[in-house]
Amino acid sequence: MAEQKVKSPQAPERYEDTWLYRIRHSAAHIMAQAVLEMFPEGKVAIGPPIENGFYYDFDLPRTLTPEDLKAIEKRMRQIIAGKHPFKKTVVSAEEARRIFKDQPYKLELIDGLEEGGYDEYGNPLDEKPEISIYQHDTFVDLCRGPHVEHTGQINPSAIKLMNVAGAYWRGDEHNPMLQRIYGTAWETKEQLKEYLHMLEEAKKRDHRKLGKQLQIFTFDEEVGPGLPLWMPNGGILIEELEKLAKEMEYKAGYERVRTPHLTKEDLFLRSGHLPYYAESMYPPMELDDGVRYYIKPMNCPFHHKIFASVPRSYRDLPIRLAEYGTCYRYEKSGELFGLMRVRSMQMNDAHIYCAEEQFEEEFMAVIAMYQEYFDLFGIEKYVMRLSTHHKRGLGKKYVDNERLWLKTEDMVRRAMTNGNVPFVEVPDEAAFYGPKIDVQIWSAIGREFTLATNQVDFAVPERFDLKFINREGKEETPLCIHRAPLSTHERMVGFLIEHYAGAFPVWLAPEQVRIIPITDAHVEYACKLEKQLRAEFVRARADVGAERMNAKIRQAQTFKVPYMLVVGDREVSDGTVSLRRRDGSRQNNMPFGEFMSLVKERIATRSAEL
């Protein structure tokens, strides 16, 4: 796990500094002891704390079963009851090799520690670390800590082993496949119960399940994995999100552009995406003339070309070019996940070209746009992460210009601090051309999502020879801000499905009104209301099928339609409707004009209320 440094007094406490982190780290060691007692010939790999829990990777003689997990968990509670102290000892590389002589994965990690630059998990470090071990009871692990003082400080009623998954050693598919046991640990039994409830609720809200049930999107093997097909309901969600983005961006001074889906190889060689990004791009198409074309994984090089197409003055800046551009990225099959990890995506993309003195205002205007979206969608918890470069990656993972890295990272820090925006800093996770702000958000039930990014580019504009004439009449290269507040359609819709559990606010709901005639005698009135609502651009449908009224109501509830209008003899004669809201509340004999005003107001204001 990358180290996180807090850079604002309002920023959340580092996870690594919390008591919960120590509990989970220690629980991973206790679990490893229990597993090795069950399989003395087993080999251990790594076992770090992670968000909401911990895991440990094992090379074992057989596949673990659910019964094994129960037995391991029972043994963990016995170890906890022993109140065994955690003892740290600093050792030499040779001593460590003697201790772990029968553990090949640990020996490989010791080699990395001895060479310097890597920790006991194989993650890069700035400096050569000391080699240390932690022991409790009979178990010894290669570890820096921190841990609880003794096993008894872990609540035995607040731990649970969750599942077993396959994991390649060091994430490399050419290495052995290990068994990874996931567990969770909390301070209290009540916290564990709340967490498990959240997981159960998350299953109900799974966007893959609800997306199918609500007919939002589908996948097809003949089309290809990771290539979503948007159904009519999904098309409506996309149109509403695009409408929202276009309104917001127009007010903020953005101009809309369009670019092609493929380009000559030369464009990405110039931008530097080749070779940096080659593994995430689809293979090139080579034509008869020998020219190689790529389908685009991003929009920025095209926007740079649009900026460069006409002479620019400082009076023109900032220039904000926006596009909902479709991009294609090759994700490995095992990494695809519903709408969250796909190979085809439509990005809420824009590039802002500005002078250095305009940077802070423009950067913070983007942050303010994020926050406006958060308010609209009821996102109450979020974290901004400043991802910076690392010196060892210069010329490989990152553009080789240390001076500009340090300068632009400091510019972002100052902007966020001056804007009083809380953030945490994470080294070695920047874009290849500059620092970025990654946005983590939490859904209504507390599930975390990575949503979007706000990136600074000091390198690529110069590669494209982008210039403007400054106040002194001299040529100057602009800074470029890459931003995508609404992420991609795929990721955003996936998040919103789970956030709202499919019960979208009225303005976003694919179907806003379902009109239900009680008998065939009322169909004509129902169709008349549908026509009037559609004339006002309200998404309405009269259900004129053969099913009985109650069946029609249940079907509308299944599709989470916000409003159901039931109409019978009285409604026909009085020009009224009987309103049933999705939340179960009702209002009988409501004048249709009054309902029309209500629904139009909810849509126009993008209200969260029914």
Region 58-62: what's the mean pLDDT? 98
Is the pLDDT at 356 greater than 90, yes or no? yes
R_g of the chain computed on alpha carbons: 28
pLDDT of 396: 82
pLDDT 10s digits, 165-188: 999 999 888 999 999 999 999 999
pLDDT of 260: 97
The domain spans of the chain are 12-188, 210-500, 513-604
* Tokens of residue 177, six digits: 């496949």
Under 8 Å between Cβ of 340 and 473:
no
* Bond prior to 422 in cis (omega within 30° of 0): no
pLDDT band at 6 (very low <50, low <70, confident <90, very high): very low
pLDDT band at 406 (very low <50, low <70, confident <90, very high): very high
Query: Percent of the chain beyond pLDDT 90?
Result: 83
Under 8 Å between Cβ of 331 and 267:
no
> Token match 């479709």: residue?
326
Q: In this structure, how many other beta carbons lie within 10 angstroms of the beta carbon of residue 207?
A: 25
Q: 210-500 sits in which CATH class?
A: alpha beta
Lowest mean per-residue pLDDT among 66-75, 254-263, 396-405, 590-599? 396-405
pLDDT 10s digits, 545-571: 999 999 999 999 999 999 999 999 999
pLDDT 10s digits, 185-207: 999 999 999 999 999 999 999 99
pLDDT of 375: 96
Is the pLDDT at 126 greater than 70, yes or no? no
CATH architecture of 513-604: 3-Layer(aba) Sandwich (3.40)
Q: Which CATH number fits domain 12-188: 1.10.579.10, 3.40.50.720, 3.40.630.10, 3.30.980.10?
A: 3.30.980.10
Is the pLDDT at 5 greater than 60, yes or no? no
CA separation (Å) from 540 to 47, 235, 374, 564?
A: 54, 16, 28, 10
- How far is it, in rounded angstroms, from Cα 205 to Cα 501? 5
pLDDT of 116: 73
- How far is it, in rounded angstroms, from Cα 530 to Cα 522? 13
Is the pLDDT at 267 greater than 90, yes or no? yes
CA separation (Å) from 563 to 50, 88, 542, 579?
A: 42, 63, 12, 7
108-133 burial, b at 16+ Cβ within 10 Å, e below that, comes to: ebbebbbeeebbbbbeebeeebebbb
pLDDT of 172: 86
Region 270-280: what's the mean pLDDT? 86
Mean pLDDT across the chain: 93
Lowest mean per-residue pLDDT among 443-447, 494-498, 577-581? 443-447
pLDDT 10s digits, 424-463: 898 988 988 899 999 999 998 888 888 888 999 999 999 9
